[in-house]
Every structure is written in structure tokens, then in C-alpha cells.
Amino acid sequence: MPSNRWKSELVDVAPLREPLVFRPSGRVVRNRLFKTAMTEGLASWSPRDISQRGMPTAASVELYRRWGEEANTFGIIETGNIDIEYDQINAIGDMIITLNDAPSGTRFEGFVSIAKAAKANGALIIGQTAHPGNQLHAHIRSNTISASDIQLVPKKGPLGEFYAKPRAATQDDIDHIVASFVHAAEYLAAAGFDGMQLHAAHGYLLAQFLSGRMNRRTDAYGGSISNRARIVVEIAQGVRSSPRVPKDFILAIKLNSVEFQEGGLTAEEARQLVATIDASEGSGEEGGPFDYVELSGGTWHSTGMTWDRESTRRREAFFIEFAEKIVPALGQSPRKTKVFITGGIRSAAAMVGALDVVDGVGLGRPAAQEPRIANDILEGRITSSIKPQKALEDISMGLRLAGTQMGQIGKGEEPLDASDEQAAREFLADEAKWHAAMMADGDKLELSGYVKLSTPQRPYGE
């Protein structure tokens, strides 16, 4: 029985096929669709030997091979979070590159294999790098650093997450963070990656510096927007000036368009922020230090990833209205620093419509459900993504579903069809067992990855 899909008007998808030239790298992206970052949970994990954490696995490589298949695959394929510390991670099973990791050996060869697999048919591969800051889960490590010493309250929900106690980062800490991100760029470049993205959204460490709600500093890294953006600018300058990073290496940044929390980043502040970063020291005729800005929004306490507003439901994109206020700060099209938007877009009509505001469109969960989705949309076989059962549309459950589907792809299975009522029911039963096991695991840290399915699944391609 055919899958149920989101409604979509018929539209000419030719604008999505248009190439895009990045500045200052000079690289050309083949089309306007990119696979945005999602937490995969497929890298190696050890609860005791932290140096064995975060190595790409065969499943990691297979996942990226599938995303990189077909003649009209994504223009850009972004990885999930690549953490810059072994014990300050965003999620168990993330890939990791630290200052201790040289560009050689098993870890490095794993990144080389991912780059080759993703780029096989012309996509550009971008590594998303991040540090959790005060969003570090307390069962992984009890203390952490942040812009200020503000500890997050426990998160309500099925997992009842508790967060590490942060201290305000010292200048030595900040210097270490900057050096770690620069090293990650050098490492990824050596592994054959086309670029790196700084994750400065969703409440992670760099977002904590940018947010007036989380940054109460009184030194050079606090106060004005230009001061709060200083750490990001220093990282960008370090990457651009490194002799081990090629001139055509893409540097990108993911920013919040809004935080949806009292005292948090507003759309107007985000507008000032992108203008500040774009005009930072070292910018020249080719534009600012970043090739593209990806606009998302919210934090893990308040994501904003819902269709509550009628205007959002109509246009599908969660953050498009905020993008309309922010993008003009980077100039009119053709602007030098390109802008992509991620979140909620499910139909080809909405993707084409978004190009009136931004330069490209990111797909996350739809790419876990349908790894061939870019090719299928660009070649006219489908006009929208699969519409999951109502119980799987919630952002938290949807992300767990996507993690399971990515795991399926990694081990050679076709992702379960979330629009199928029986498949959804079976997934939810397995998810309940997974949840109970995760709660029992607690701070033992022996479990990694997402929900494992107990029912037989189809081999990939059937």
C-alpha cells in the first residue's frame, strides 16, 4: 500500500536544481537542497575508556553512502554533531574530534571513509561541530563550562533529564575552545571534508555565549552583541588563517533566528548578530568569514519546532517568518553570505516558496525516513515527504524515530514507514522498552544508540 504523504501543490522544482556559488571559499553547491544535521548515535562508545568514544563505525559510513547516492543527491550533506571533547558531549554515540586526535589512525580513517562515501556523486560534505556547554547531561559528567554559571533546571519529560553544573568559562577555557574548533576544521579538511559548520544554535555552548539570557559576563565576551559574538569571530578567524585549512574550505554557522524564551535571543537581536559576524575583522570583498548561515531556532527546552501558528502551518517552515526579518542584514540576493533554513518543510511547493527568502532548504527527519528524497523531488517522482502517524509527529518522538531509521539504514535496512499504522504501533512498543532500559541504565552509561526494532524489516532497496 503506498505511503501517505504531506499535501503539496504541483510546482516547477527547477529553482531547487539551481547551483549556488559560495563566498569566500569559491565552492559550488550543485542544488538548493541540503541534508541538515541530526544526532545519529552510531559512533563508537565506551563508558570507561573515553579515548575510544566517538569513532565513526561501518554503520556511520553506510548511512552517508546512502545519502550520497543517486545522480541528484543533496547539494550539501551535513553530519550530526561532532563533539570537541570526549566527556562533554551532546549525545552518546556522537562522533568526536579533540585536540588530542591527530589526523591518522582508526578514528581519522573513519572520517576519511565518511567523506568519500558522502561525496561519491557530487554532494559536498560538511562536518557540524559543537560543545554542549550547560546542556551536558549530568549522568555523563557532573560539571561543565558555559558562558556563565547558570545551571539548567531538570527537563520535564519521559527521560527526566538532569544537567551538569556549569562554571563560567575562564580565558584559558575560551582559548582552548577556540583552538579545539580550529583543530577540528584542520582535521576535517585533512580527511577530505569540504567544510565545517559551527553549531551556535539550539542552546549549545556557542549559543550560550550569544544569548543575553545565558551570558551574564562583564568582560570582553559579554554585554553587547559584538562582545557576545567574539568567541564565534575568533574561531572563524582562526580557521580562515590556519595554514592547514585550504582556502576553498567552506565555513558555515548554524544560528538561532529566535529562542522562544523570556530574555532569550529575539529576531531583531539575531538580525544584529548576523550583521556583526558578517562584518567582523577579516571580512573582505568576498564577504564575511562564513560561506553560509543556517537559520534554525529555539533551545532543547523550547524548540519552537511546531506548527502552532497558522502562518507557519501554511508555509510549513518553522522559522521562515523570522528569517524574513534577519536575512536582509546580509544584503539582497545575490548576497555573498548565503542563507539556508531548516525546520518543518515537507513539500516541494514550500521548498520552492522558501527560496523567495533564503538560498537553500534543509531537510532533517524526512531524510532519515527517505534517504533518496532529494533525488526523488528533483526528478519529479514525489512532491512531498512521507507524513508520519500522529503519535510520531511530536518533535521528541520524531527525533527518536529518525535515530532508529538512521540506524536501520546504517545496517542495511529500509527505514520503517512511519505513515503505516502497524509499523508505528510496533515502533512505539519497542520505544517503550528502550525507554525503560535507558532509565535503568542511568549513570552506568552502557547503552548507546536509539530504539532497536524487534520485528522483521526489509533489506535496503526492497
Residue 273 in contact with residue 284, Cβ under 8 Å? no
- Tell me how crowded residue 331 is: count the other CB atoms within 10 A of its CB: 13
**DSSP states of 113-148:** HHHHHHTTTS-EEEEEEE--GGG-BTTT-SEEEESS
Domains of the chain: 14-444 (3.20.20.70)
Lowest average pLDDT, out of 99-108, 211-220, 256-265, goes to: 256-265
With the C-alpha atoms ordered 344, 350, 351, 354, is the resulting torsion angle positive or negative? negative
Residue 284 confidence (pLDDT): 56
Gap between the Cα atoms of 244 and 191, Å rounded: 12
The predicted-structure confidence for 47-68, as pLDDT tens digits, reads as follows: 999 999 999 999 999 999 999 9
Q: Is the peptide bond before 334 cis (omega within 30 degrees of 0)?
A: yes
Query: How far does CA 396 lie from the centroid of its chain?
Result: 15
Q: Provide the CB-side half-sphere exposure for 27 (13 A, CA).
A: 26
Average pLDDT score over residue span 173-199: 98
Residue 26 has pLDDT above 60, yes or no: yes
Strands 28-29 vs 20-21: parallel, antiparallel or unpaired: antiparallel
Gap between the Cα atoms of 324 and 82, Å rounded: 30
Q: Is the peptide bond before 15 cis (omega within 30 degrees of 0)?
A: no
The predicted-structure confidence for 308-319, as pLDDT tens digits, reads as follows: 444 444 445 567
The predicted-structure confidence for 372-419, as pLDDT tens digits, reads as follows: 999 999 999 999 999 999 999 888 899 999 999 999 999 999 999 999
Average pLDDT score over residue span 83-93: 97
Rg, Å, the chain Cα set: 20
Residue 262 confidence (pLDDT): 52
pLDDT level of residue 268 (50, 70, 90 thresholds): confident
Residue 323 has pLDDT above 70, yes or no: yes
With the C-alpha atoms ordered 112, 115, 118, 122, is the resulting torsion angle positive or negative? negative
Which cell goes with 47?
Answer: 563508558
- The SS3 assignment for 197 reads strand
How open is the CA angle 144-128-405, to the nearest 5 degrees? 100
With the C-alpha atoms ordered 86, 199, 28, 280, is the resulting torsion angle positive or negative? negative
Residue 3 in contact with residue 350, Cβ under 8 Å? no
Gap between the Cα atoms of 254 and 375, Å rounded: 25
Average pLDDT score over residue span 326-351: 87
Gap between the Cα atoms of 368 and 459, Å rounded: 15
Strands 124-130 vs 76-78: parallel, antiparallel or unpaired: parallel
With the C-alpha atoms ordered 94, 155, 390, 442, is the resulting torsion angle positive or negative? positive
Average pLDDT score over residue span 332-341: 86
| CB crowding 121-144: b at 16 or more within 10 Å, else e | eebbbbbbbbbbbbbbbbbbbeeb
Residue 89 in contact with residue 132, Cβ under 8 Å? yes
Query: Which is higher by pLDDT, 23 or 258?
Result: 23
**Strand intervals (E) in 301-377:** 338-342, 360-363
- Tell me how crowded residue 158 is: count the other CB atoms within 10 A of its CB: 13
Which cell goes with 83?
Answer: 563533539
CA-based nearest residue to 405, from 79, 59, 91: 59
Which cell goes with 265?
Answer: 535571543
The predicted-structure confidence for 142-181, as pLDDT tens digits, reads as follows: 999 999 999 998 875 555 579 999 999 999 999 999 999 9
Query: How far does CA 53 lie from the centroid of its chain?
Result: 20
Residue 263 confidence (pLDDT): 55
pLDDT > 70 fraction of the chain, expressed in percent and rounded: 90
pLDDT > 90 fraction of the chain, expressed in percent and rounded: 75
Gap between the Cα atoms of 165 and 244, Å rounded: 36
pTM score, whole prediction: 0.93
Residue 152 confidence (pLDDT): 93
